[in-house]
Amino acid sequence: MTQQRLRIAIQKSGRLADECQTLLKGAGLKLNLRDQRLLSHCQNLPIDILRVRDDDIPGLVMDGVVDLGIVGENVLEEERLERQAMTRPAEFTTLRRLDFGGCRLSLAVDKDMDYTGPASLANTRIATSYPYLLAQFMNQAGVPFSDCMLKGSVEVAPRAGLADAICDLVSTGATLEANGLKECEVMFRSKATLIQSQQPLSDANQELVDKLLTRINGVIQARE
Ligand code: PRT
Ligand code: ZN
């Protein structure tokens, strides 16, 4: 049987795309990612790069369709919770937390609201793209709420009268401020992370993963 090439999923375009490519190139992979193809062959190692929507990456790894993936921990944890709820495969191994893609998943309310803790949001409606992480946080706090699922434009939901509060990603806080909102609770701190499928690899591919991880550690240490 011919040796299966190692498959790595990264975001095709978006906030993590350039940093993923820089990291892999820094680790010695010769890649030609100028075209828009889904699958690109690494020129100097038996590795294929799969470029997809970030939301697809955790599932591809958990289902063993790809061997490695780079994704934000926010997207990864949301997918893990959703799959757990549906008793679908949700296992993966974290190889390394990375040094980019930092953000936090936070609750935000009208800047003039008197927020004193999660209980201030009792029986409100909260707009989010992260219903499982939100439910986990509110359930742990013991606060009843309802949600409003929005895949985009979450920050305008309160002004549009769709929700009382939001649960969204924040990095600088400029988006919240521009929408008259204030961050009132940090629920989850996230960075990009490198994960591996729990499907066993061939010895050759596991060696390749080990070598890649050593090189990635080197790249990250060098820019610390
Ligand atoms: O097309 P695809 O589905 O692949 O991409 P996407 O549009 O779903 O994701 P993308 O590229 O926007 O983000 C990818 C990942 O980057 C996220 O899952 C996070 O892990 C990470 N990341 C880091 C962020 C941010 N910082 C961030 N600030 N993702 C989104 N934002 C958004 C946030 O949703 C809000 O709209 O930026 C806005 C807030 O930014 P500030 O600086 O105004 O606070
Ligand atoms: Zn996405």
Cα(221)–Cα(218) distance, integer angstroms: 5
Strand order in the sheet with 181-190: 146-149, 125-128, 165-170, 103-110, 181-190
pLDDT at position 87 is 98
**Atom 31 (ligand 1) nearest CA:** 169
pLDDT mean over 51-67: 98
The one-letter code for the residue type at 91 is E
Shortest-distance atom of ligand 1 to CA 171: 44
CATH 3.40.50.2300, applies to 6-101+191-222: no
Q: Which residue has the tokens 């707009």?
A: 127
Q: What is the pLDDT of residues 70-117, one digit of tens each?
A: 999 999 999 999 999 999 999 999 999 999 999 999 999 999 999 999
Ordered DSSP codes for 155-169: GGTTTTTS-SEEEEE
pLDDT at position 84 is 98
**Spatial contact of 163 and 127, defined as CB atoms under 8 Å apart:** yes
**Spatial contact of 10 and 70, defined as CB atoms under 8 Å apart:** yes
3-class DSSP assignment, residue 193: strand
Q: Tell me if 103 CB under 6 Å of ligand 1.
A: yes
Q: CB within 8 A of 12, min separation 6: which ones? A: 51, 52, 53
Q: Tell me if 56 CB under 6 Å of ligand 1.
A: no
**Spatial contact of 99 and 191, defined as CB atoms under 8 Å apart:** yes
Q: Which residue has the tokens 């992370």?
A: 193
Cα(148)–Cα(207) distance, integer angstroms: 45
CA torsion sign for 49, 206, 59, 82 is: negative
Shortest-distance atom of ligand 1 to CA 175: 43
Q: What is the pLDDT of residues 89-101, one digit of tens each?
A: 999 999 999 999 9
pLDDT at position 3 is 63
Q: What is the pLDDT of residues 11-33, one digit of tens each?
A: 999 999 999 999 999 999 999 88
pLDDT at position 171 is 98
Topology of 103-190 in CATH?
D-Maltodextrin-Binding Protein; domain 2 (3.40.190)
Q: Tell me if 8 CB under 6 Å of ligand 1.
A: no
For 145, other C-beta atoms within 10 Å of its C-beta total: 20
Q: Tell me if 18 CB under 6 Å of ligand 1.
A: no
**Does an H or E element contain 106, and which?**
strand 103-110
Q: How far is the CA of 89 from the centre of ligand 1 (A)?
A: 26
Burial class of residue 101, CB neighbours in 10 A (0-12, 13-18, 19+): buried
Tokens of 203: 């010895």
pLDDT at position 2 is 55
**Strand partners for 6:** 47
pLDDT at position 33 is 83
Q: Which residue has the tokens 């993923």?
A: 20
Domains 6-101+191-222 and 103-190 share a fold: yes
Look at residue 208 and tell me whether its pLDDT is greater than 60. yes
Look at residue 46 and tell me whether its pLDDT is greater than 80. yes
Task: Tell me which of 10, 106, 130, 169 to substitute to probe ligand 1's pocket, judged by most ligand atoms within 8 Å of the beta carbon.
Answer: 169
Task: Tell me which of 51, 103, 151, 166 to substitute to probe ligand 1's pocket, judged by most ligand atoms within 8 Å of the beta carbon.
Answer: 103
Q: Domain coordinates of the chain in residue numbers?
A: 6-101+191-222, 103-190
pLDDT mean over 40-69: 98
pTM beyond 0.80 = yes
**Strand partners for 16:** none
- Give the model's confidence band at 186: pLDDT under 50 very low, under 70 low, under 90 confident, else very high: very high
Cα(171)–Cα(128) distance, integer angstroms: 16
Look at residue 1 and tell me whether its pLDDT is greater than 70. no
